[in-house]
Amino acid sequence: MTSNVNMEKIVSLCKRRGFVFPSSEIYGGLASCWDYGPMGVELKRNIKDAWWRTIVQQREDVVGLETSIMMHPKIWEASGHIASFTDPLVECKSCHLRWRATEVDRDRCPKCGGELTEPRMFNLMFKTLMGPVEDEAGTIYLRPETAQGMFVNFDNAVTISRRKLPLGIAQIGKSFRNEITPGNFIFRTREFEHMELEYFVKPDTAKYWFDYWVKERFNWYTNLGIRKENLRLRQHGKGELAHYAKDCYDVEYLFPMGWSELEGIANRGDYDLSQHAEYSGRDLSYYDDESGQHYIPYIIEPSAGVERSFLAFIIDAYREEMVEGEKRVVLRLCPSLAPIKVAVLPLSRNEKLTPLAREIHKQLRSNFMTWYDDSQSIGRRYRRQDEIGTPFCVTVDFESLEDHQVTIRDRDSLAQIRVPIGELEKTLRAKLNGEPFDVSSLWATRQK
Ligand code: ATP
């Protein structure tokens, strides 16, 4: 974590620059619910795309799925969520705040010092009724994870993919948990998005694949720019393991409130398919034609949250720097995650410059997520783009009208290169793909 970043600065930047707004704000907000603004939706989408690219697109052994949020209530009996997806909760007898019993180690309320009640079990699933007539309606649940939808489709995925084990099913989607203590901005909310992979393996290979996925998932974050020193792996102790898990590692990030879980990778054994086989009456064993055996596959599950990754990526990218005696805030986001890839900025809102700048913008926006900005001074516009992490700004100036060249400014080094308009798109594409921003090459260099 950079030493000068704290959660207040991140919350303020997210609001100011259109990443995250409090939900229902004009009505006073709704606790722990957030809306994602124009920059926020792009960042979220880019995180999900990056995950999907790595987990599904670039692999032969994983297929995607999108299952329903509302599912048969028996699924939650089979999964153990109705019996055990509970947290022990204590309530303060004077201020009535509720706390997870595991969060308070004294018998006094951390807020007001009042006496606490005995712990009570609290189910984290949201209940609702399905059916138009309330008396006859059945109780159903909003899913607290996307995983169960994939377990119950195991057979479909094997049949349709025509692939042998190991086989993964991947899904990204909303989950809901009636958390007792949501908070720390978007770190823990009651509605969030999961990115989950269920990787079905032969039982005697489970240890190998578990280790494999722990490494893969750690590297996914560092490949997208998170600094290694802010990331660590933590193995769950025996007493901490979920009832179904044989082993579990958390990828933890050094958030401003301390090391906290970013993603969990669990070896779930054969628990899930065995349970669903028992409760549904369907045979969910797998026939391995190489060994001629039937077995219930083990499942390795890397389970990540979109919003928590979002928060970690922004915090890790956040920098305050001095440039020419002025402070600039910059998000050094990996270009593939940056909400806007290229900003087009005419030097001024001049009638001669505008048509050319507009024309360039039109060309670029069919290939990149772009932003056009001609209000206020060029310096302020650069700062605005720095704060949302835009890797490149293209400046159109009066010389551009004569020499048909424009300037590309690099967010991180602040170096500028001049390129012919005809080569702009190709150059930007190469730079966004990681080609170095080499100011001594091909083009004349103009340092700001
Ligand atoms: P925690 O211990 O923080 O409650 P968990 O161990 O219950 O998390 P999992 O069920 O393993 O979480 O879910 C996997 C991932 O989903 C977490 O690592 C996190 O990124 C995300 N996640 C879980 N609960 C929430 C939540 N309430 N708000 C935002 N993200 C969440």
Q: Is residue 121 part of a domain?
A: no
CA–CA dist 30, 24 (Å, integer) = 6
Instruction: Give yes or no: residues 225 and 139 share one domain.
Output: yes
Cβ–ligand 1 distance for 46 under 6 Å, the answer no
Q: Whose CA is nearest to atom 19 of ligand 1?
A: 305
In the predicted model, what is the mean pLDDT of the chain?
92
Q: Which domain holds residue 356?
A: 340-432
Instruction: Give yes or no: residues 21 and 160 share one domain.
Output: yes
Instruction: Give yes or no: residues 368 and 253 share one domain.
Output: no
pLDDT of the residue at 445: 43
Please give the distance, rounded to the nearest whole angstrom, from the Cα atom of residue 305 to the centre of ligand 1. Answer: 6
Instruction: Give yes or no: residues 251 and 392 share one domain.
Output: no
Instruction: Give yes or no: residues 285 and 360 share one domain.
Output: no
Cβ–ligand 1 distance for 144 under 6 Å, the answer no
Domain tally for the chain? Answer: 2
Local confidence band at 446 (pLDDT 50, 70, 90 cut-offs): very low
Instruction: Give yes or no: residues 279 and 374 share one domain.
Output: no
Instruction: Give yes or no: residues 307 and 425 share one domain.
Output: no
pLDDT of the residue at 443: 46
CATH number at residue 279: 3.30.930.10
> Would you tell me how many other CB atoms lie within 10 Å of the CB of residue 375?
9
Indicate whether 37 pLDDT > 90: yes
Q: What is the pTM of this model?
A: 0.92
Q: Which own/partner pairs from 319-323 qualify as long-range (CB within 8 Å, at least 24 positions apart)?
A: 319/2, 320/2, 320/4, 323/414
Q: Is residue 103 part of a domain?
A: no
Closest CA to 272 of 345, 198, 323, 332: 198
At 80-120, the pLDDT tens digits run 898 876 778 887 777 767 787 877 877 788 888 888 888 87
> Pocket of ligand 1, candidates 192, 221, 249: which has the most ligand atoms within 8 Å of its Cβ, to mutate?
192
Q: Which residues contact 338 (CB under 8 A, 6 or more apart)?
A: 43, 46, 331, 388, 389, 390, 391
Local confidence band at 434 (pLDDT 50, 70, 90 cut-offs): confident
Atom of ligand 1 nearest to the CA of 179: 27
Atom of ligand 1 nearest to the CA of 189: 28
Q: Is residue 334 part of a domain?
A: no
Q: Is residue 262 part of a domain?
A: yes
Q: Is residue 118 part of a domain?
A: no
Indicate whether 391 pLDDT > 90: yes
Q: Is residue 196 part of a domain?
A: yes
Indicate whether 38 pLDDT > 50: yes
Q: Is residue 88 part of a domain?
A: no
> Pocket of ligand 1, candidates 51, 176, 303, 309: which has the most ligand atoms within 8 Å of its Cβ, to mutate?
303
At 150-184, the pLDDT tens digits run 999 999 999 999 899 999 999 999 999 998 778 89
Q: Is residue 31 part of a domain?
A: yes
Q: Helices (H) and strands (E) in the chain — how many of each?
A: 13, 23
